[in-house]
Amino acid sequence: MPTGPRTATVPENPVAVTADPSPQLPTTVPSADGPNVTVTDVSRIVALDRFGTYGTTVFALGLGGNLVGRDIATKFPAAEHIPVLTPDGTNANLEALLALRPTVVLADASIPSVATLAVRLRAARIPVVLGDPARTIDNTAAQLRATAAALGVRAAGERLVAQTEAQIARAKAMVPHLKPKPKVAFLYARGTGLMILGGPGSGASELIEFLGAQDAGTAAGLTDAYTSLTAEGLIKAAPDVLLMMTDGLASVGGIDGLLRVPGVAQTPAGRTRSVIDMSDGQLLSFGPRTGTVALALATALYRG
């Protein structure tokens, strides 16, 4: 297995499976909070979740030109001009959202205020479709199909599912059967004042395990998705590789700055400078990028 720092990369913008998705409307679909929702117009879409999944999927389905509001995690050049409604990463501003005059809102419970938001928006006669907040490899196809159905583009959704599943299969084929499995720790950083070690349910843990590695935080006994980093906890986790978001790595001063964080230099990953970074808007977006992200991470982890 290679050592040293490396960057996992995928195309900056999601690639649309069709240039003319031709929505079939009206469409009536289930919503995670119970009621079926009828969507009659997808000309002004707002997509909100913690991971950027829905916004990325809208672009991948060929409807990027219809997206008028997004979460901060929908982060790629083609979306830069679209207003951000979750500047803190979690809560959406209702007044700012209403001002965009959306014809449909896609969201889920990864936004803490989404239940209240949905009630207020539906009172204003704006359709709100709530999806599954879980982000795993296994529910990728279901999530893509649900989003495509809500936008009346089921055929484009099936093309996107086929493409994504083929990429996931290619990534899986790259994974060697190593014993012992390499231990990979997901480290979220925003400067040295905010450093968090990923555990079960972080999203990163699912990717790590899919790639034939062991999530170091989970192996060290963490029970929460995210736990404040301590030197003792990181040393106990003993990761062979650290996985980080690119901006997070930059915020601590790159590899050299990271090695000055207590505990990092004492890990196998620190001793070999084995750090894989990936763009913030890509690593945990799941959805249509699940396959390309898995391919890029498999390449970085096993081929360098």
CB-based burial label for 35 (10 Å; 0-12, 13-18, 19+): exposed
Q: Return d(Cα 70, Cα 89) in angstroms, integer.
A: 11
What residues pair up with 245 in beta bridges, in sequence order? Answer: 278
DSSP secondary-structure letter at 66? Answer: G
Give the orientation angle of helix 140-150 with respect to helix 53-60, to 10 degrees. Answer: 70
Q: Is 295 part of a structural domain of the chain?
A: yes
Tens of pLDDT along the chain (304 residues)?
Answer: 899 999 999 999 999 999 999 999 999 999 999 989 999 999 999 999 999 999 999 999 999 999 999 999 999 999 999 999 999 888 898 999 999 999 999 999 999 999 999 999 999 999 999 999 999 999 999 999 999 999 999 999 999 999 999 999 999 999 998 999 999 999 999 988 899 999 998 889 999 999 999 999 999 999 999 999 999 999 999 999 999 999 999 999 999 999 999 999 999 999 999 999 999 889 998 999 999 999 999 999 999 8
User: Based on the structure, what is the number of domains in the chain?
Assistant: 2
Same structural domain, 190 and 291: yes
Same structural domain, 120 and 186: no
The confidence score (pLDDT) of residue 254 equals 97
Same structural domain, 277 and 233: yes
Q: Return d(Cα 265, Cα 197) in angstroms, integer.
A: 15
How far apart, in Å, are the Cα atoms of 135 and each of 117, 164, 269, 275, 286?
A: 21, 15, 27, 23, 7
Q: Is 238 part of a structural domain of the chain?
A: yes
Q: Is 254 part of a structural domain of the chain?
A: yes
Same structural domain, 186 and 144: no
Q: Is 243 within 8 Å of 186 (Cβ atoms)?
A: yes
Q: How many CB atoms lie within 10 A of CB 226?
A: 16
> What range does the domain containing 143 cover?
27-152
pTM: 0.93
Q: Is 168 part of a structural domain of the chain?
A: no
Same structural domain, 143 and 82: yes
Q: Return d(Cα 298, Cα 293) in angstroms, integer.
A: 8
Same structural domain, 238 and 276: yes
**CATH number, domain with residue 265:** 3.40.50.1980
